[in-house]
Amino acid sequence: MKKINSSSTTNQIAEIGNSIVEFNKSNPITDDAFYSITYTLLSEKTAELIDTINRAGLHNGKKEMDELRDLDVRAIFYTVKAHCIRRPSEDQKKALRIQEILDRYGLEITGYSFGDESTNIRALLNDLKSPELVEERASIPELDQLIVNLEDSQGEFDVADAQLIEGEVDRSKTKSASIVAKELKDIIDSRFCVYIEAMSFANPDKYKSYYDLLQIIIDQNNRQVEEHLAALKRKKEKTEAKS
C-alpha cells in the first residue's frame, strides 16, 4: 500500500485520519486487540490534530471581529458627517457637536494596532454616551443604534481576543500542528496501514473492505497533492519565462 505523500498539508493528514475514524464508526472491527490499540492511537491523534488546527483558526476569528468593529466605527463617522453636511438648522448644529467629538479621535483609529484601537473605541463610546449629549444624539435618529452596534462588535472582539490569548497559552504547552500531523502520518503509514494490509491477506472477509478504503483515501490525497505541486511548478516556470 502507498504511503501518504510527504508533501501533504496538516489539514490533508487530518482529513485522512478523520475519514478512517468515520468509516470505523459504521464498519467497526471487533475482537482484535492489536487493531483496537492501533485504532485508538489513530483516533486520539486525529482528534488532537483537529483541535490544534481549530485553535490556530482563532486568529481568523479575531480578524473578522476587528473588521466588523471597523465597519461600525465607519458607520458612525459617515452618518454623523452626513447630518453635518446640510443647510444650517438646530439639528445640524447638534450634529456638529457630535462631529467635534469624532474629530478628536479620527477615522484613522481603525488602522491602529488591535490594542490601541480597542482603547480608542472604548474612550469614544464613553464620550458619545455622555448624558450631556442626549439631545445631540437624538438629532441623529439612527446614532443610538449605531453606538449599540459598535459596543456589541467591540465586545465580540474582546471575547475573540481573550480566546486567542487563552489558545496561545494552551499552544505553548502543546505541540504544533505540523508535529502532531507528522505523528498521525507515522501512525497511519507505519502501523495502521501495515497491519490492515497484512490482515487483508490473512482474513480478507473481515479486513479487505478496510484495506480497499485505505487505498482509495490515500490515493485520492496523493493525487491532489501531486496535482497541486504540478500546478505550482507550472506557475513558477511561467513566471520565470516572463522574467
Q: Where are the domains of the chain?
A: 10-40+177-242, 58-172
Q: What is the CA radius of gyration of the chain?
A: 28
The pair phi, psi for residue 5, each rounded to 5°, is -55, 130
Do 211 and 1 touch, CB atoms closer than 8 A? yes
In the prediction, which pLDDT does 173 show?
A: 47
Residue 30: partners with Cβ closer than 8 Å, 6 or more residues away: none
How confident is the model at residue 206, as a pLDDT?
93
The span from the CA of 16 to the CA of 14, in Å, is 5
* Cα dihedral sign, 123-124-129-132: positive
> pLDDT value at position 171?
52
List Cβ neighbours of 240 (8 Å cut-off, separation of 6 or more).
none
Burial 76-100 (b: 16+ CB within 10 A, else e): bbebbeebbeeeeeebeebbeebbe
Three cell numbers written together for 121? 473605541
> Are the beta carbons of 214 and 23 closer than 8 angstroms?
no
pLDDT at 101: 96
Q: Which cell goes with 167?
A: 489558545
Q: What's the confidence (pLDDT) of residue 240? A: 78
DSSP 109: G
Q: Tell me what pLDDT residue 167 has.
A: 57
Residue closest to 49 by CA, chosen among 168, 170, 176:
176
| pLDDT at 165 (0 to 100) | 67
pLDDT < 70: residue spans in the chain: 56-61, 164-174, 243
**Residue 19: CB atoms within 10 Å:** 18
Burial of 164 (0-12, 13-18, 19+ CB in 10 A): middle
DSSP state of 7: T
Number of H helices, E strands in the chain: 10, 0
Which amino acid makes up residue 44?
E
Q: What is residue 4's predicted lDDT score, i.e. its pLDDT?
A: 96
Joined grid coordinates for residue 66? 476587528
Place of cell 491532489: 224
Asked if 161 contacts 61 with a C-beta cutoff of 8 angstroms, the reply is no
pLDDT of residue 207: 94
